[in-house]
Amino acid sequence: MQKRVDAVCRISDRHTVPAEAQGAKVLEYFAEDVFDIEKMAAHLPKSAYKKLMATINGMQPLDPSIADDVATAMKEWAVSRGATHYTHWFQPLTGGTAEKHDSFLEFSGGKAIFEFSGKTLTVGEPDASSFPSGGLRSTFEARGYTAWDPTSPAFIKRHDNGGTLCIPTIFCSYTGEVLDKKTPLLRSTQVLKKAVVRLMKCFKQPEEPVKVTLGVEQEYFLIDKKFYLQRPDLLQTGRTLYGAPPAKHQQLEDHYFGSIPPRILAFMTDVEKELWRLGIPAKTRHNEVAPAQFELAPIFEELNLAVDHNMLVMEVLRQVADRHGLVCLLHEKPFAGINGSGKHNNWGIAYGKRNLLDPGSNPAENAVFLTVLTAVIHALDAHSDLLRTATSGIGNDHRLGANEAPPAIISMFVGEQLEEVINQIVKGTSTHAKKSASLRIGIDALPPLNRDATDRNRTSPFAFTGNKFEFRAPGSSQSCAEANMILNTIVAEALDALSDKIESFKAKTFNEELQALLKKEIAAHQRVIFNGDGYAKEWVAEATKKRGLPNLTSTPEAIKPLLVKENQKLFERYGVLTKTELESRYEVFREDYERRLEIEGRIALELAKSVIRPVVIKEYLAMGESRGCVAVDAVRQELAKELDAMNASIASLQKALESGEDISQAIGWLRRSIDALEGLVDDSAWPLPKYREMLFIY
Ligand code: ADP
Ligand code: MG
């Protein structure tokens, strides 16, 4: 196919445009496009600034009397940086972000002016009718409301010809039902913070501000745009529906942490520049395991901000890639047979200056650490189904349970050392002498846990990595909001369950009682801890048969926990989501899955019938004149056999699409024969860029 050859030639002629070296300049422009605390202080009247800070620090609701001041200050700052428009920036249930721009333009006495009022800053009324609502909408008005979330600072999104002031907002329906991902996330964070404060009170700790922290490692693929545009499957579904595995892919393990190719490094440099301007603390960049796969990780931040920032990271990756003639694929499994992409969700809790997931260095700190750890073990065991729900989605289905990603069974890895401590607690076999003043929670003080020793197991979906939990099941394209909303809520519940008991402990016997409680709790939930190989077949059998852990392998299964009564009660009790809202989410996720599956089926069918089959038939007919040549006859026969198989699979896919059943399986069958044909048909005639081209030529 001429187009494929053209693409290769043009890529080989391409020169990387060297980016200007940044050096210390970065420190000058870091966060320059964010209306952050420093800029608030500089642009706001003192009293308004103070009130706003109180809101941001979570102590008071926003005082409406300062909204106008804040809006004016924001506008002036934004306009001075070239912005002409503003938008409420929100996160509907599509999983992406949404924005509708309005200019600051108004008329005053017939004269054009720029204006931005407190009311426009704090509330918006976008038409909600075109956003997924899972049935919530039909019974109510189409109107939706967006409301400013002052805990995530406004920022300017730049484009070639200007900029837009973006105001992070929540999004709900006319009657107040939640239609977005941010609202329940904010609520769940409040709930968790409250539970932490309560627990720390049990330990007689002075009250300190609680912070839930998040660092999101983002994996992605980059391929040249010239190949991408020749792949209708990538264009329409984000993944390749066809493509035979290349001879060399990732077997040699030569890509991971390899030297970064110049063209990619130029891209990364540009990405970082944009992220830094937005105040996003991009820190780490490297090659990932699969060819053409890379990773970006920021320094962790407060949870809500980190989630917003990750949404921006995905957007910046896509946009900058385009400028570099590349396409950033965020799909969880763009290429079959090689590693997919995930999003490692590093989650932690800070209490004042202290990290509650850090074992600490004295018995009192250890006791708090072990109690929090016990709560997370409890939460995970009680609700691993919900955590799986949070990672559901058609793309991630191809990744979870495949041989390079965590399995769909949600278990916890704690590392050898910590497991030993846990076992000691359960067995009550502390080897330390009983001292009246010190704790006997297994051992008086934990040995310093070597971080490296805890981080070896890459096969676990939920790993304790020394001072944080790393949830590795979320998919690369997913918003982290869902996973953390659930994680926060279930951990809050588990912490409260412990506080319920600890509050009634007598001061004199506190340590013994705590010891007994943790022992009981851990013993009850220990089945969720697994330090072995999560990819092993035996684990599936052990997890499901022996331990009774759920293994929800596909989205339709994985979203069912949203309909379970106990789960609904949990979210209602904590005021995170109502039963109706959970049911609406179920509908949204189900619909999304079914629609995407149908799209995959349709594009697979179209490609097979109108792009690939004609090429195969042409080749077959061209071999018509074999003149008794045995070799030609043999090839012809082989081609005929695969063509027959392809035709049969086309018929089954057609049928599956009509009935809406087994579409996924039918696509798989069709893929088999088409991938086999890829290896038979004249390479120069094959119409789709091949894996060996897309993954290796850039
Ligand atoms: P890895 O070995 O998994 O790459 P890193 O130390 O690079 O480990 O951390 C990965 C991510 O975890 C980074 O984004 C980092 O900022 C984040 N992280 C570290 N500590 C915490 C914490 N206490 N809470 C949340 N995230 C954290
Ligand atoms: Mg990691």
CATH, residue 451? 3.30.590.10
**CB of 466 closer than 6 angstroms to any ligand 1 atom:** no
Rounded Cα gap, residues 338 and 549, in angstroms: 27
Does the C-beta of 457 come closer than 6 Å to ligand 1? no
Q: Are residues 490 and 535 in the same domain?
A: yes
Last residue of a domain, one of 593, 626, 658: 593
Quick one: pLDDT at residue 138? 56
Is 21 a domain residue?
Answer: no
217 CB within 6 A, ligand 1: yes
Question: How many Cα atoms sit within 13 Å of 597 on the Cβ side?
Answer: 28
The ligand that comes nearest to the alpha carbon of residue 283 is 1
- Return the pLDDT at 434: 38
Same domain, 334 and 354: yes
- Is the shortest distance between the CB of 689 and ligand 1 below 6 Å? no
Which residue's alpha carbon is nearest to atom 17 within ligand 1? 215
Q: Which of 218, 219, 289, 300 to mutate to test the pocket of ligand 1 (most atoms within 8 A of CB)?
A: 300
What is the CATH classification number for the domain harbouring 115?
3.10.20.70
For residue 92, what are its two tokens? 């509907």
- Regarding whether 620 and 579 lie in a shared domain, the answer is no
Same domain, 434 and 485: yes
- Mean pLDDT by 10-residue block, N- to C-terminus, for the chain (698 residues)? 85 79 90 96 93 83 87 96 96 93 95 95 83 70 82 93 94 87 96 98 95 98 97 98 90 83 94 97 95 97 97 98 96 95 97 93 85 97 96 94 81 88 78 40 56 66 93 96 98 98 93 91 96 89 94 95 97 97 96 97 98 96 81 91 97 97 96 96 96 95
Torsion of CA 491, 154, 343, 577, to 10 degrees: 40
What DSSP state is assigned to residue 139? T
> pTM of the entire structure?
0.95
On the 0-12 / 13-18 / 19+ scale of CB atoms within 10 A, 478 is buried
Do 280 and 298 form a contact (C-beta atoms < 8 A)?
yes
> Six-digit token pair at 515?
């010891």
Q: From the CA of 217, give the closest atom in ligand 1.
A: 14
CB of 348 closer than 6 angstroms to any ligand 1 atom: yes
**Same-domain status, 509 and 599:** no
Range of the domain at 652: 594-694
Pocket test for ligand 1, best of 468, 480, 484 (most atoms within 8 A of CB): 468
* Beta strands 412-413; 462-464: pairing state: parallel
Tally Cβ neighbours within 10 Å of residue 146.
26
Which residue do the tokens 């979330």 mark?
Answer: 149
Of 434, 436, 442, nearest in space to 515 by CA: 442
- 199, 160: one domain: no
Q: CB–CB of 204/510 below 8 Å?
A: no
Give the chain's domain count. 3
Distance between Cα 661 and ligand 1 center (Å): 42
Is 214 a pocket residue for ligand 1 (Cβ < 6 Å)? yes
Same domain (yes/no): 73, 201: no
Using the 3D structure, point to which of 116, 149, 180 is the last residue of a domain: 180
| Dihedral sign, Cα of residue 195, residue 197, residue 201, residue 204 | positive
Q: Which of 303, 380, 292 is nearest to 341 (CA)?
A: 292
| Pairwise CA distance, residues 457 & 464, whole Å | 10
pLDDT at 435: 37
CATH number of the domain bearing residue 665: 1.20.120.1560
Asked whether residue 576 falls in the same domain as residue 636, the answer is no
**In-domain check, residue 219:** yes
- Site to probe by mutation for ligand 1, drawn from 301, 346, 372 as the one with most ligand atoms within 8 Å of Cβ, is 346
Q: What is the dihedral of CA 77, 79, 80, 81, to 10 degrees?
A: 90
3-state secondary structure of 165: strand
Ligand 1 centroid distance, CA of 154 (Å):
25
Q: Is the CB of 488 within 6 Å of ligand 1?
A: no
> How far is Cα 309 from Cα 315, in angstroms, rounded to an integer?
10
Per the domain annotation, does 4 fall within a domain?
Answer: no
Answer whether 301 contacts ligand 1 (Cβ < 6 A). no
Q: Is the CB of residue 514 less than 8 Å from the CB of residue 371?
A: yes
Q: 614 lies in a domain?
A: yes
As a whole number of angstroms, the distance between CA 115 and CA 630 comes to 82
- Nearest-CA residue for atom 11 of ligand 1: 215
Distance 544 CA to ligand 2 centre (A): 27
Is 632 inside a domain boundary? Answer: yes
Cβ of 674 closer than 6 Å to ligand 1, yes or no, is no
